Structures are given as structure tokens and as C-alpha cells.
């Protein structure tokens, strides 16, 4: 306790009284059962540099964070000293509506940015979970995305430029403020999805899209999973151009009349009203030709509630313990994987959401006091092996520490590990940023 107070006192000299969370509030950034010794919130890049230089001098680990929604992703930490949160760096630096670009500080919440952009009928075409509170820095650092990645791609496809602070306090810049800005190495891609292990993102430049004039979701039940997936792939391969095509199994979504015992296909559209009307008609035809048991069009507030439920599926909350696993597969490999999951003895307790256009399948499994974590780890390992044999992988995105003690949440990375370690050593030689939490303990 005395050591923690001394650390707080030293950090206050850098970030001031308002730049450090009181010890009693540090629990808000608890992850994997670890409460950080200090939570600092620098108000400038200079303060962030000084915090990192101080941590390096004292050999303290630093966990980058925004709102803390993704702190639970990763292996068990080696040590938890300082959580550095960017939430006070939350301004819009530059916005050019005519260019469809915006530059923001990393701590701005996505919802706050969308509100600013909406005034010009524009938006950032990303829909990761925790949209009401997640920050742009966290989204980019984890390469987060959602159903809209079918049409617009993941975070790495939206980023034009970055400003990053390395572990030694050095500030670097990559990319630019226009779409075609790369001459030489595209360093943006190095930081995106690195989970803060190479540097802490302080500023992001993004490309934008116009808000669709009208949106609608078509929902249909199917007798079996194979039929739903085949129909979804037919829609993706057609000229309809949906915003997303998702498969739901064992899930009860608000705003739909789906039977939770049957798989449901949810297809989203956005654009001018005439185009959306044509898309809905064509999509309904494909569904009915493929044996859909019922087709419902969801619009207005009901559509917004349904889309929110779809978006938040892989999120975890503080009231319910769940394990979230994410499988990255070929589109054509989802059917076999889903069948394998639903044939398992634990299938009745598992909810599934598959982003058919992106080859992503999420599993949500409840955790209770009776859960056999060793057995669950073996089950996930077998499922990961099946995914790897199909040239995919499995990542455990959310899990209690008891499960992480039995499984590597990332899985093997193959021949690239040596190169990744060299990059880590070059950018963070003392392994101060998120030590041990990334792939293979990097």
C-alpha cells in the first residue's frame, strides 16, 4: 500500500492531481483479477511521454487503455503497474467534411465522434461492440470492427494516419491525411492490431462515409444451419451488395420474430430508399427460393435496436461471466465449423453469431461456479485445431482468469513469431508495454 501511494505521489508531479485516479477508483480498470497500482490520465502528449520515460526508468509495466472495454483481451499479465488511459485526449483535431476525413485524439469515444460527424450526414463506418463508450485509440489498437466490415472493412481499412508514442517517449507519425498517402512502407498497419505492444496511439486520421438515407434489415428463419449459410453465401455472391449478412444460432434478438431454436439469417441494407427497396425484394426472393420459413423486414426504431443487439453480441458485461471465442475462417468453412459446434454436448448453452461475409464466427458461452475450466480449455483447443486445419484460427477474446490459466488465448502464430519478437525488441526493448499479454507472450 505504501509503495502504491509513493507511486501515486511521483506520478502526480507529471500529470497533476486530476491526471491520476484515486486508489479507490483504480478498480474500474481491473482486468484478469489484477488491480493496477496506478491509473494515469495524461492531458497531453508531453505528459504521456514523461509518464513513459518515468516508467522506463523505474522498470514499471504500462497497460495502454481508452475506456478499458478491451483490457480483458489477452493472456494473463506478467505484472500490472500502471494503466495509462487516453480518455483526456478526446478532441477533434481537424475535420474536413468535403474531403470525408477527420483527425481525432485517441481518447475520443466513438459515439461522441459519430455525433459530430452526423451533423454533416457522415459517419465512421465501424460498428464494434461497446460503441457507446469505446475510444478510437482502443478500436485502432485492437483492429476492432463489426458487421459493417463486409462493406467497409475493419479499422485498418479506415485509418489514413497515426501519431504514436513509443515506450521510450519518442513520438512518431505514420501515414497522412489523404487516402492515397503511402510512398514506401505503410507503418500504420504495424501499429493497428498490435494491442499497444509497440506504442501508444495518441492521434488518428480516418476516412469517412455518408450516412445511408435509409436502412433496413431482412430477417429469416431456416430449418437448419446449412440452409441458412448456403442462402447467406448466395446473397453475398449476388449483385444485391448488402451491408452485412449474419447468421444467428440460439440467440434471441430484440425486434425480431425469430424462433431461437432455429438458425436466423439477418441481412442489412443501406442507401437511398429506392435502392434499398429493390435490394429487399431481391433478397427476399433468394431467401424464399432457399426455403426460408418466414421473412420479416425490420425498419425504423426496431431496426436500430436489432442492429445494436447484433453489434453488442461479442461484448461482455459486468453482471454475467461469459467466454467469447472468435474464429477466423474461410467463408466456405463456416458451415462445417458451425455443425461441429452444434453437435457438441455443450451446444445448448452456446450462442453463435457468424459474420458470413467476413468469415468470422463468434461463440458466447456462459460461465458458472460449476464450470470445468480444464475441460472447457480442451474443448476450445480441439475447436482451434479444427479451425487451423481449415487454414483459420481461434482467439479467446473474453474469459475469466481461471480459463486463461489453462489455454493460450491467441494460439500459435507459426513461422512469423521470430520476426514479431524482433519488431517488439526494436520498438519496446524492455518490454514495458502490455508485457506477456500478446501472442506467444510478447
Are the C-beta atoms of 7 and 38 separated by less than 8 Å? yes
- Given pLDDT bands bounded at 50, 70 and 90, which one contains residue 345? low
Do 178 and 134 belong together in one domain?
Answer: yes
Per DSSP, the residues of 169-218 read: S-EEEEE-SSSS--SS--THHHHTTSTTSS-EEEEEEEE-EEPPSEEEEE
pLDDT of residue 436: 92
Per-residue model confidence as pLDDT tens digits over 55-72:
999 999 999 999 999 998
pLDDT over 90 percentage in the chain: 78
Q: What is the CATH number of the domain that holds 388?
A: 3.30.70.120
CB burial class (10 A; 0-12, 13-18, 19+) of residue 320?
exposed
Do 187 and 235 belong together in one domain?
Answer: no
Give yes or no for residue 258 having a pLDDT over 70. Answer: no
Do 146 and 36 belong together in one domain?
Answer: no
From 191, 210, 229, give the residue that closes a domain. Answer: 210
In a domain? residue 439: no
Domain count, the chain: 4
Do 198 and 227 belong together in one domain?
Answer: no
The parent domain of residue 396 ranges over: 322-414
Do 19 and 71 belong together in one domain?
Answer: yes
Pairwise CA distance, residues 367 & 399, whole Å: 9
From 53, 85, 117, give the residue that closes a domain. Answer: 85
Do 202 and 218 belong together in one domain?
Answer: no
In a domain? residue 378: yes
Q: Within a 13 Å sphere around the CA of 21, how many CA atoms are in the beta-carbon half?
A: 22
Per-residue model confidence as pLDDT tens digits over 259-296:
567 899 999 999 999 999 999 999 999 999 999 998 99
Give yes or no for residue 342 having a pLDDT over 90. Answer: no
Cell of 5: 501511494
Per-residue model confidence as pLDDT tens digits over 121-175:
999 999 999 988 999 999 999 999 999 999 999 999 999 999 999 999 999 999 8
Per-residue model confidence as pLDDT tens digits over 14-23:
999 999 998 7
The CA distances from residue 92 to 9, 71, 133, in Å, are 31, 24, 16
Instruction: Give the mean pLDDT of 94-100.
Output: 96
In a domain? residue 442: no
Q: What is the CATH number of the domain that holds 155?
A: 3.30.465.10
Pairwise CA distance, residues 432 & 253, whole Å: 42
Quick check: helix, strand or coil at residue 44?
coil
In a domain? residue 423: no
Do 197 and 99 belong together in one domain?
Answer: yes
Of 87 and 184, the structure prediction assigns the larger pLDDT to: 87
Do 75 and 141 belong together in one domain?
Answer: no
From 85, 102, 132, give the residue that closes a domain. Answer: 85
Pairwise CA distance, residues 352 & 225, whole Å: 11
Do 306 and 222 belong together in one domain?
Answer: yes
Do 306 and 281 belong together in one domain?
Answer: yes
Q: What is the CATH number of the domain that holds 262?
A: 3.30.70.2190
Amino acid at each position: 500500500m505504501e509503495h502504491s501511494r509513493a507511486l501515486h505521489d511521483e506520478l502526480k508531479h507529471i500529470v497533476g492531481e486530476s491526471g491520476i485516479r484515486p486508489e479507490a477508483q483504480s478498480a474500474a480498470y481491473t482486468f484478469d483479477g489484477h488491480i493496477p497500482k496506478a491509473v494515469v490520465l495524461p492531458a497531453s502528449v508531453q505528459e504521456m511521454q514523461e509518464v513513459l520515460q518515468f516508467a522506463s526508468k523505474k522498470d514499471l509495466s504500462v497497460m495502454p487503455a481508452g475506456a478499458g472495454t478491451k483490457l480483458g483481451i489477452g493472456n494473463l499479465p506478467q505484472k500490472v503497474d500502471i494503466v495509462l488511459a487516453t480518455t483526456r485526449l478526446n478532441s477533434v483535431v481537424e475535420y474536413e467534411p468535403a474531403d470525408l476525413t477527420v483527425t481525432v485524439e485517441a481518447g475520443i469515444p466513438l459515439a461522441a465522434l459519430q455525433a459530430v460527424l452526423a451533423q454533416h450526414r457522415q459517419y465512421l463506418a465501424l460498428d464494434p461492440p461497446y460503441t457507446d463508450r469505446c475510444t478510437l485509440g482502443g478500436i485502432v489498437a485492437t483492429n476492432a470492427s463489426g458487421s459493417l466490415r463486409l462493406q467497409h472493412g475493419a479499422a485498418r481499412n479506415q485509418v489514413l494516419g497515426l501519431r504514436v508514442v513509443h515506450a521510450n517517449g519518442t513520438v512518431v507519425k505514420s501515414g497522412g491525411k489523404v487516402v492515397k498517402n503511402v510512398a514506401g512502407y505503410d507503418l500504420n498497419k504495424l501499429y493497428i492490431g498490435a494491442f499497444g505492444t509497440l506504442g501508444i496511439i495518441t492521434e488518428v486520421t480516418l476516412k469517412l462515409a455518408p450516412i445511408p438515407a435509409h436502412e433496413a434489415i431482412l430477417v429469416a428463419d431456416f430449418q437448419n444451419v446449412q440452409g441458412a449459410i448456403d442462402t447467406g453465401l448466395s446473397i453475398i455472391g449476388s449483385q444485391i451488395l448488402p451491408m452485412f449478412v449474419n447468421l444467428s444460432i440460439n440467440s434471441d434478438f430484440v425486434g425480431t420474430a425469430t424462433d431461437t431454436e432455429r438458425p436466423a439469417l439477418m441481412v442489412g441494407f443501406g442507401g437511398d430508399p429506392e435502392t434499398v427497396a429493390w435490394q429487399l425484394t431481391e433478397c427476399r426472393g433468394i431467401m424464399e427460393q432457399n426455403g426460408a420459413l418466414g421473412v420479416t423486414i425490420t425498419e425504423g426504431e426496431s431496426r436500430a435496436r436489432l442492429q445494436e443487439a447484433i453489434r453488442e453480441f461479442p461484448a461482455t458485461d459486468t453482471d454475467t461471466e461469459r467466454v467469447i471465442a472468435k474464429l477466423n475462417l474461410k467463408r466456405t468453412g463456416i458451415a462445417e465449423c458451425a455443425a461441429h459446434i452444434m453437435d457438441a454436448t455443450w451446444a445448448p448453452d452456446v450462442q453463435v453469431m457468424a459474420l458470413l461475409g467476413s468469415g468470422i464466427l463468434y461463440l458466447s458461452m456462459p460461465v458458472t461456479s460449476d464450470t470445468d475450466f480444464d475441460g472447457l480449455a480442451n474443448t476450445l483447443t480441439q475447436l482451434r485445431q479444427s479451425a487451423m486445419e481449415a487454414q483459420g484460427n481461434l482467439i479467446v477474446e473474453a474469459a475469466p482468469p481461471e480459463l486463461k490459466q489453462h489455454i493460450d488465448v491467441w494460439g500459435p502464430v507459426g513461422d512469423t513469431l521470430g520476426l514479431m519478437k524482433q519488431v517488439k525488441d526494436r520498438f519496446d526493448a524492455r518490454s514495458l508495454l502490455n508485457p506477456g499479454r500478446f501472442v506467444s507472450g510478447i
